Structure 1
């Protein structure tokens, strides 16, 4: 785990989860975002986690639970009531997982939200890893890779696909969420609205930001960062 410390007393701690379709990626990829978060007063923890196909769902979720426990009981000085998660793509998925489990605030940029329903509704799509583009340079939808990543993450196990699906697991335990997505990108935009509606039905606040174009995840960092910072600052103020 890499740790980025602010120059001032921390506003709170953010656990920054890297993307990579649950099959690749590394904490070093988060240097850009983590640096910006630290410059804006947050203590940032950037962990690695186990990836597929060697480790299937829910291994990365369990790793995030371990990270959260470590952060809570660490010697770092900050208000332990002010902890949140942020992630992009598969990292956004894991951030939502933690928001559902813990009630902590999370930010998901292009989170891979729809799993079970998407697989059910795209049976004709032939899964393919292909020449998987990296992060923000993706230029639009890639249903073949999206399906491949889900099946790789779950070992094509229908029970795991069901358990990994997020939309069906929203309960009153969930925390507030910031959900960003581009209009025509790798991750479909409709699940963002579905998740926000499911949260609203349970009187849980969320913020959505829909960005024009095809950029994925940190590809729109400059568009989403100000709103994301305000979201966490607002959530943490309410905890004081």
Structure 2
């Protein structure tokens, strides 16, 4: 059966060469650095493996959007098969940091469950403020849909998922864009304007906070943007169902309960899975990654069969 290969890579549309942005030494949001911060409090954790398993193919460094010489890239992981459902994965890092490699372990495990999985890079706040990252996520979804035949995926079965800032981005891009059938929000904000979110993201001692840097100002200065970027503002009948997977740190899921209540009123399905006694960034590590994958697969099989 067809698999991703150099033949597929050659079949995709050629684009001009791109200039790589310089490495940012301050961007340390990855599994290795996060492990060093967490292992003392959670000595049994292990960085989830990212070795390509048998039966899963990788198509690397595909350019899904280009801004001048700046190219946005993604990687595709897929099992053999035709018309596969696909999950586009959006990394975390406070809108200012992180790498698409963060979601490789989850992508591989999804592929072993019969899903194509796409990990994407997007413009961080130091390069481009809101809404650039949202636009990038939506551009990646459009690229995946446009290349469905070459990728052996079903263009009618595309889901978005992400962790932390990536959870907020996946949710916002999914509820304001087109063609997304399901969303998985892993420890990401649903409402920037909520009291819990502003307690941390509008803290005057942070100059600026992660959200403040992304919006270009504090809540009092950019309130319209803080509201506009809150997924809870877009609850409506017909929107994609959402699975919320949360850590033991409520601040990172601010607005979740209120959004689920509004979705219920609108007749839209949602579900929530909480992994108790877990830190933020739990999806980077075993033993927590597998329950995250299991919950995601169960939700997708129900809502994107």
TM-score of the two chains, using structure 1 as the length reference: 0.83
Aligned to 2:79: 6
Which one has the bigger strand percentage?
2
Of the three residues 100, 107, 111, the one matched with 1:27 is 100
Please give the TM-score of this superposition, normalised by the length of structure 2.
0.66
Structure 1 residue 118: deviation in Å? Answer: 3.5
Residue matched to 2:160: 85
> For 1:126-171, what per-residue CA distance to the aligned partner results, in whole angstroms no more than 9, with x for missing partners?
3438xxxxxxxxxxxxxxxxx8111111011333212112222212
Mark the structure with the bigger radius of gyration.
2
- 1:115 maps onto 2:192 in alignment: yes
Please give the residue correspondences for 1:1-240 in structure 2 after superposition, counting only pairs within 5 Å.
1-9=74-82, 11-74=84-147, 75-101=150-176, 102=178, 104-118=181-195, 122=199, 125-128=203-206, 148-156=209-217, 157-184=222-249, 187-188=252-253, 191-217=255-281, 218=283, 219=285, 220-237=288-305
Q: Is the 8 A contact 1:2 1:46 kept in 2?
A: yes
RMSD: 2.2
Q: Is the 8 A contact 2:123 2:133 kept in 1?
A: yes
- The answer on whether the counterparts of 2:245 and 2:274 sit within 8 Å (CA) in structure 1 is yes
1:125 deviates by: 3.1
Would the aligned equivalents of 1:11 and 1:233 in 2 still touch at CA under 8 Å?
A: no
Q: Secondary structure at the match of 1:83?
A: strand
Counterpart contact for 2:238–2:268, Cα < 8 Å: no
For 1:52 and 1:222, the matched residues in 2 are separated by 30
Aligned residues between the structures: 219
User: Relative to structure 1, is the Cα distance of residues 11 and 76 closer, same or farther in structure 2, using a 3 angstrom cutoff?
Assistant: closer
Aligned-partner SS, 1:54:
coil
Partner Cα distance (2:115, 2:83) in 1: 5
- Of the two structures, which has the highest relative contact order with CA contacts closer than 8 Å and spacing of 6 or more? 1
C-alpha distance in 1 between matches for 2:304 and 2:196: 36
Structure 1 residues 28, 193: closer, same or farther in 2, change over 3 A?
same
Answer whether contact 2:160 2:170 (CA < 8 A) is retained: yes
Structure 1 unaligned segments of length 5 or more: list them. Answer: 130-146
> Matched residues in 1 for 2:112 and 2:188: separation?
24
Q: Give a deviation string over 1:49-76, Cα, whole Å, max 9, x none.
A: 0010331111111111111111111022
Alpha-carbon displacement from aligned partner over 1:71-97 (angstroms, at most 9, x marks no partner): 111022122111101100011001111
Q: 1:13, 1:42 within 8 Å by CA — same for their partners in 2?
A: yes
| Cα gap change, 1:120 to 1:2, in 2 (>3 Å) | closer
